[in-house]
Amino acid sequence: MLLSKRHVAPRVLLIEDTEETRELSRMVLESQACDVAAVSSAEAALGLLQAGERFDLVFTDVCLGGVSGIEAAHRIKQYQPSLPVLVTSGLEPSDVLPQLRPGIHFLPKPYSMSELLDAIRACFQQQDVGQAA
């Protein structure tokens, strides 16, 4: 199983502008009992959050048309600091990591589905530790 007992059916907001990648990621997450809302832009994701939609994790590509995944992550953390955000990119980690704030995790591309699931688990484990402190 993907997640801890605390996250029986986590709700994941998936932001990916490439349709094939978005659908593959959605299918993998749903196969792990996640409830996935998949959108193609940061603007659409931010709109869902501003409308009051609740999520347990945001998973976003860095390179998106319009608002970047990193900018979206920063905005999300500003309004919902406890919401874990996982960003992914084919860019060099040295180009991405300096732009990330605490609570924003990085998964380099290409990644296997196992690596994706491990990264999501790590996001939830860090969140659980932070809430216990």
Q: What is the CATH number of the domain that holds 111?
A: 3.40.50.2300
* Percent above pLDDT 90 for the chain: 72
Residue 2 covered by a domain = no
Q: Does residue 18 lie in a domain region? A: yes
Query: What's the mean pLDDT in 41-50?
Result: 97
- Mean pLDDT, residues 6-20 taken together: 86
Q: What's the mean pLDDT when you consider all of the chain?
A: 89
Query: What is the count of structural domains for the chain?
Result: 1
Residue 100 lies in a domain: yes
22 is a domain residue: yes
Between 74 and 4, whose confidence is greater? Answer: 74
**1 lies in a domain?**
no
How is residue 72 written in tokens? 């979206």
Q: pLDDT per residue over 58-88, tens digit each?
A: 999 999 989 999 999 999 999 899 999 999 9
Q: Higher-confidence residue: 43 or 33?
A: 43
- Distance from C-alpha of 59 to C-alpha of 24, rounded to nearest angstrom: 13
pLDDT given for residue 133 in this prediction: 46
**Average of per-residue pLDDT across 104-109:** 95
User: Which residue spans within 4-75 are E strands per DSSP?
Assistant: 11-15, 35-39, 57-61
In a domain, residue 31? The reply is yes
Q: Which domain holds residue 114?
A: 7-132
The residues with which 61 forms a beta bridge, in sequence order, are 88
Query: What predicted TM-score, i.e. pTM, was given to this entire model?
Result: 0.89
The vertex-59 CA angle with 85 and 40, nearest 5°, equals: 130
